[in-house]
Structures are given as structure tokens and as C-alpha cells.
Amino acid sequence: MPQQVTVTEHLLLHQKRIPGATGQFTRLFNEIVLSAKIINREVNKAGLVDVLGFTGKTNVQGEEVKKLDEYANRILIHRMARSGVLCAMASEENADIIEVPHGLPVGDYICIFDPLDGSSNIDVNVNIGTIFSIFKRESPEGSHLLSSDVLQPGLRQVAAGYVLYGTSTMLVFTTGDGVHGFTMDPGVGEFLLSHPNIRIPERGRIYSVNEGYYSYWDEPTKAILEYFKSSDNNNRKPYSGRYIGSLVADFHRNLIYGGIFMYPADNRDPKKPQGKLRLTCEANPMAFLAEQAGGMAVDGRNRILELEVEHLHQRTPLFIGSREDVLKVREVYREFDAKG
């Protein structure tokens, strides 16, 4: 019989190896796991009960809020606020930092999350995901929390991951010690270790981008796309195009098969000159995972994890995936910059 390691067992084992570990992180992680199971249950029932469609509200991003988005957000906030180890949270769905309600115990951790990413896919039964990013506060415990505690660069993440609600439900995360994937066994109700130490292939065969926006891109991005589609690239044949439109699902496929996901800047909407994806709750956690799996993530020119975070809902272009493919992106940007 294969060894069946649960997420909690994995974390406890890991924790034992860290001198001075207090178990706070494991406590927080257990709440994320439980939230994921609850959200998964609702996602699985979608279509049978009244959870599809819109709430009629608009979120801070100006997007219409889906009922499941709101549900997932509520579950995560409720559960994590009671973990006793967080001092603040931030969600893609909330304009401001979410404080732990008065009277509940607090700790040093901060969790930033996108409760249900790819939610425009919910109503048609396409994969969606929850993304999370965890930091430790930098200001002293017990003092007033600073906005700089929440707006730390991605490099300072202590953990990041996602839950993919797909063919099967998976939890993939890193605590800075490689990337590990756990698959939900519905019979047992636990996430079991199925993909230890995931490594992304050095060079991929897949490019993922919303090519419908081609005419809105800058010249380097257009040149990058031509490179991946040409038979004159390092693979000597065109890459396959695959685009689901759910970051978690597109990223996960490329993580396993190798490839590059791109959401470049575009000039469709003057209010969003940096593209659509958010730095804190999408690009940073995915970049941490990509790097821990041996891949890379840049905004074209700069490493995502080094970008300064100026505000919670900041957007960034994102090129992420296999190392050689992302290096190619940077090379093309440098060539264009050198030409002036």
C-alpha cells in the first residue's frame, strides 16, 4: 500500500525540523485546508443548488461578484480570523486590509488571498482555484500593524499556494522548501501527498496567453509570441497554445508539463495599463511557487518577487513558467530596450 501522508502530517514533520517552531503556522494552514474542503464541497454542488450566477454587487476591482466568490471569501475570512495566529488578512474581494475582529486572539502572520480565482468560469464547470500568500509581520508583535507589514515584497513570503478545484481537487504549496502537491481523496476527506517536490521542466512546450488581445500589446510581447509560435525557436517547432482563462489551472498545467503563462500589459483599458493580474494575490504567490519548482516569473524586465508593493490591488504584467522560456522573455525585452 502506498504511503498516505496528509498535509497536516507533512507540516508536522516539516515543523519538527525547524528549531523554535511553535506550531502557529500549522494552525493557520489547517484553517486554509479546512476552508478549501468547505469551498470544494460547494463548488462540487454548483449547478444543483443556488450558488451559480452573480450577487448583483461589484467588487473593488470593478468586477461583478459571483455568489461562489462571496461564499469562498466569507469562509476564508471566518476560519482564518479564528486561527489565533493572524494579525491581518487581505482579499482580492475587499478594498482594504481585513483586521481580526476585536476579542479574538491574534498572532504574527498575514494572509493575502484570492478566494476564487477564474470565477468567470464557474457557471460553465471549468476549473477554478483559491490562491494564498503568507507573510510574517515585520513590526514588533503587539504594536500597531503598519501597512508596510501587509505590503511586503513577494520575496518575504513564508508560504504560498493554491487549491485547484478541477478533475480532482489539489492543494499545491511551498514553504520555501520545494513545491508539494496533495490530492483530495473524497472517500477519506483528506488531501494526501501525491506530487512531492514538483519540478517544472527547464523548457516547455506550451504557451498560454489570451491571444485575442494581441493588437493591444507592446512590441516586445508581440515578438515573444511570434517566437513561441515559430519553428525557429529553441524547440525547433511551434509551442502548443493552451489557455483556460483560470490562472490556477493554466499555471498548474504548465508547472507539470512545462511551459509559459503570460498576462502582459495591454492598452485595452487606460485604467489597467499593467494588465489584469494582481501582484499581491496572484503574481507573488505564483512566482514563489514557480521559483521553488525551478522556474521563473518576471513582469517582462524584473523579477516579480522583487517588485515593490505600493498598494493592495496593484496589477502587474506576468510571464511565468519554465526557466528557459521566461529567460527568453527577458532577453527579448532587453533587446527592444537596447534598440531604444
Binding region for ligand AFP (CB under 6 A): 63, 117-120, 210, 245-247, 263, 276-277
Task: Report whether 261 contacts 289 (CB < 8 A).
Answer: no
- What are the angstrom distances between the C-alpha of 114 and each of 128, 130, 279, 296? 11, 6, 11, 21
Q: How far is the CB of 301 from ligand AFP (least distance, A)?
A: 21
Quick one: 35 or 194, whose CB is closer to ligand AFP?
A: 35
Residue among 118 and 321 whose Cβ is closer to ligand AFP? 118
Q: Which positions ≥6 away from 2 have C-beta within 8 Å?
A: none
Measure the CA angle with vertex 183, ends 209 and 179; round to 5°. Answer: 65
**Nearer to ligand AFP by C-beta: 57 or 156?**
57
Q: How far apart are CA 166 and CA 128, in angstroms?
A: 7
User: Cβ 321 to ligand AFP, closest distance in Å?
Assistant: 13
Smallest gap from Cβ 12 to ligand AFP, in A, equals: 32
Question: Closest distance between ligand AFP and the C-beta of residue 121, in Å?
Answer: 6
For residues 120-151, one letter each, b for 16 or more C-beta atoms within 10 angstroms of the residue's C-beta and e for the rest, the string is ebbeeeebbbbbbbbbbbeeeeeeebeeebbb
Report in angstroms how near the CB of residue 286 gets to ligand AFP at its nearest. 10
Dmax of the chain from CA atoms?
Answer: 63
